[in-house]
Amino acid sequence: MRFFLHGVKVPHRKNTEKMAAVRMPAPASVTIPMQQHIGKPALPIVKPGDEVFVGTLIAEQDGFISSPVYSSVSGKVKSLTDLLMPNGVKCRAIVIESDGNMTPDPSVAPPTVTNKAELVEAIRRSGTVGLGGAGFPSYVKFNIPEGKTVDELIINGAECEPYITSDTRTMVDKSDDMLHGIVTILDLLNIPRAVIGIEGNKKEAIASMKAMAEKDPRISVKVLLTLYPQGAEKVIIYHTVGKVTPAGKLPLDVGCIVTNCTTVACIGNYLKVGMPLVSKCVTVDGGALNGRGNVIVPIGTSLKEVFEFIGGFSEFPHKVLLGGPMMGHAVASLDIPVMKNTNATLAVTEDEIREKKHTACIRCGACVSHCPLSLNPQAYLKAYNAGKTEVLEKLRVDICMECGCCSFICPTAQPLVETNKLAKGLLRSLAAEKKKKEEEKKMKEESKNVRAE
């Protein structure tokens, strides 16, 4: 018997879903981070004074899990600097002064793609990462290892976070790019079918995707229950094709590739015109703003300039978020730039946040019953505070996807998702320390054996 993975009902607040994206003019300058993706930061290959254009390669990927970075404006490189990211990590960034012309790089041209290797390489060169927010380098996902079979390409159009509608606009306005990307991937990777998963509250997007699916019998649309976090990988796999992804396993292990709808549209556009990922459609919303909308923003543009373009603040915001209210980050500065995986920026009032008063846990179990993976956040909190790392390992805190359902549903405002993040970081640090000690011990033993010989 089928069942639905758990989650929570969140307020939709899709105020901008009917608003087609508008392109903002070139900013005076952009600050482009080297860490806009999961994995190692890109390596800068330009220096101050260098002339660049829209689509000029300014940083090469560093290692397998990495992604190249391109200039989003035409102008001159001003400096290389350190940038404090919303997650508290510093990374290198390239500051480019714009000439206002947005001149494309003369080398931009559609790639030649006739087989799997050429497709994977084209996706790599496009600089595309998971544009739903994850930021995982897309070419790695599509580089299917020998011996692995993919049965379904799952297109994630759930967009289950409140406020955010940038993916909705992709499905409504960029269906041609999506179709080109999907068909090329199915053809060259020998994947028999594609399923587009969309929450049922997105009527216009559903109609657009069903019309697109009629053009290729391998493509179908699955209308999903409106429930957060419907867009999480393991959740959407189960609710679209009925497969359970075991703990610690990847979608590929159950014959699936999951990719965001805007990601596949970006790939489709790159295959047609050759322009890499240099701009992002961002939902701009919140009660502290004079305006709202979906804005096509050059990557590296500051939040300050984005808010000014939409009309500025109507009142001082209680919080400014990069991303949505469930999984986004509160930022301390409006100088933070839009990045590849930025799908929204929100300036919200205190009334919109409605923060709960922190009291003692009442052992209601709501955090467990609403967790999509049936984890025990309250047990993690207790174990973390007691320093019991063995309990955290046994209860598999490492598979928590940090969706925030536990914190959202908790009536006593326990710091559940925050503690899960800290606990996962602690286990990673301990594992790295253990590995380092084992390597040092091995080196000492090998050195001892050499001296004995």
**97-130, pLDDT tens digit by residue?**
999 999 999 999 999 999 999 999 999 999 999 9
> Quick one: pLDDT at residue 134?
79
CA angle 285, 286, 291 (to 5 degrees): 60
In this structure, the answer to whether residues 377 and 235 fall within a common structural domain is no
Choose the final residue of a domain: 273, 289, 305.
273
Three-state secondary structure call for residue 332: coil
Residue 250 counted as domain residue: yes
Q: Has residue 56 got a pLDDT over 90?
A: yes
Residue with tokens 């379904």: 152
Residue 142 counted as domain residue: yes
Whether the upstream peptide bond of residue 27 has omega within 30° of 0, thus cis, is: no
In this structure, the answer to whether residues 117 and 251 fall within a common structural domain is yes
In this structure, the answer to whether residues 260 and 400 fall within a common structural domain is no
Q: Which of 2-11, 14-23, 87-96 has the lowest mean pLDDT?
A: 2-11
In this structure, the answer to whether residues 264 and 386 fall within a common structural domain is no
Are the C-beta atoms of residues 166 and 283 closer than 8 Å to each other?
Answer: yes
In this structure, the answer to whether residues 235 and 371 fall within a common structural domain is no
- Alpha-carbon distance values, 33 to 69, 93, 201, 352 (Å): 9, 4, 35, 30
Q: How many domains does the chain have?
A: 2
> Quick one: pLDDT at residue 452?
65
| Residue 270 structure tokens | 């790159």
In this structure, the answer to whether residues 267 and 380 fall within a common structural domain is no
Which pLDDT band, with edges at 50, 70 and 90, does 4 fall under?
low
Angle, helix 175-189 to helix 166-173, in steps of 10 degrees: 80
> Quick one: pLDDT at residue 263?
97
pLDDT tens, residue by residue, 324-357 = 999 998 999 999 999 999 999 999 999 998 778 8
Phi/psi at 44 (5° precision): -60, 140
DSSP state of 284: E
* CA dist., res. 339 & res. 280, Å (int): 8
- Percentage of the chain exceeding pLDDT 70: 98
Three-state secondary structure call for residue 448: helix
Average confidence (pLDDT) over 196-223:
97
* CA dist., res. 143 & res. 84, Å (int): 32
Which pLDDT band, with edges at 50, 70 and 90, does 439 fall under?
confident
Angle, helix 261-273 to helix 116-126, in steps of 10 degrees: 100
Residue 42 counted as domain residue: no
* CA dist., res. 303 & res. 427, Å (int): 34
CA angle 56, 58, 63 (to 5 degrees): 125
pLDDT tens, residue by residue, 132-146 = 877 899 999 999 998
Three-state secondary structure call for residue 201: coil
**Amino acid occupying residue 26:** A
Q: Has residue 89 got a pLDDT over 90?
A: no
Query: Where residue 175 sits, what CATH number does that domain have?
Result: 3.40.50.11540
In this structure, the answer to whether residues 119 and 245 fall within a common structural domain is yes
Q: Has residue 247 got a pLDDT over 50?
A: yes
In this structure, the answer to whether residues 239 and 113 fall within a common structural domain is yes
> Quick one: pLDDT at residue 398?
92
Residue 92 counted as domain residue: no
> Quick one: pLDDT at residue 114?
97
* CA dist., res. 219 & res. 217, Å (int): 5
Q: Has residue 3 got a pLDDT over 60?
A: no
Which is nearest to 347 in space by CA: 372, 328, 368? 328
Choose the final residue of a domain: 273, 301, 334.
273
> Residue 298: which H helix or E strand, with range?
strand 293-298
pLDDT tens, residue by residue, 281-310 = 999 999 999 999 999 999 999 999 999 999
| Residue 325 structure tokens | 């209210």
* CA dist., res. 41 & res. 32, Å (int): 12
* CA dist., res. 366 & res. 209, Å (int): 35
> Residue 307: which H helix or E strand, with range?
helix 303-310
**Amino acid occupying residue 2:** R
* CA dist., res. 330 & res. 15, Å (int): 21
In this structure, the answer to whether residues 263 and 376 fall within a common structural domain is no
| Residue 95 structure tokens | 């500051």
| Residue 90 structure tokens | 């510093």
Phi/psi at 25 (5° precision): -70, 170
| Residue 28 structure tokens | 């005076």
The string over 132-144, giving b where at least 16 C-beta atoms fall within 10 Å of a residue's C-beta and e elsewhere, is: bbbbbbbbbbbbb
pLDDT tens, residue by residue, 217-238 = 999 999 999 999 999 999 999 9
Three-state secondary structure call for residue 233: helix
The string over 241-253, giving b where at least 16 C-beta atoms fall within 10 Å of a residue's C-beta and e elsewhere, is: bebebeeeeebbe
pTM: 0.92
Are the C-beta atoms of residues 49 and 80 closer than 8 Å to each other?
Answer: no
- Alpha-carbon distance values, 193 to 155, 187, 196, 268 (Å): 11, 10, 10, 17
> Quick one: pLDDT at residue 451?
66
Residue 393 counted as domain residue: yes
In this structure, the answer to whether residues 132 and 240 fall within a common structural domain is yes
In this structure, the answer to whether residues 264 and 394 fall within a common structural domain is no
CB atoms within 10 A of CB 18: 12
Average confidence (pLDDT) over 359-380:
93
> Quick one: pLDDT at residue 34?
96
Compute CA 184 distance to the chain's CA centroid, rounded to the nearest angstrom. 23
Choose the final residue of a domain: 223, 258, 273.
273
- Alpha-carbon distance values, 261 to 120, 129, 133 (Å): 18, 12, 12
pLDDT tens, residue by residue, 406-437 = 999 999 999 999 999 999 999 999 998 888 88
In this structure, the answer to whether residues 269 and 384 fall within a common structural domain is no
Q: Has residue 1 got a pLDDT over 50?
A: no
Could you list the residue range(s) of the whole structural domain that residue 251 is in?
A: 107-273
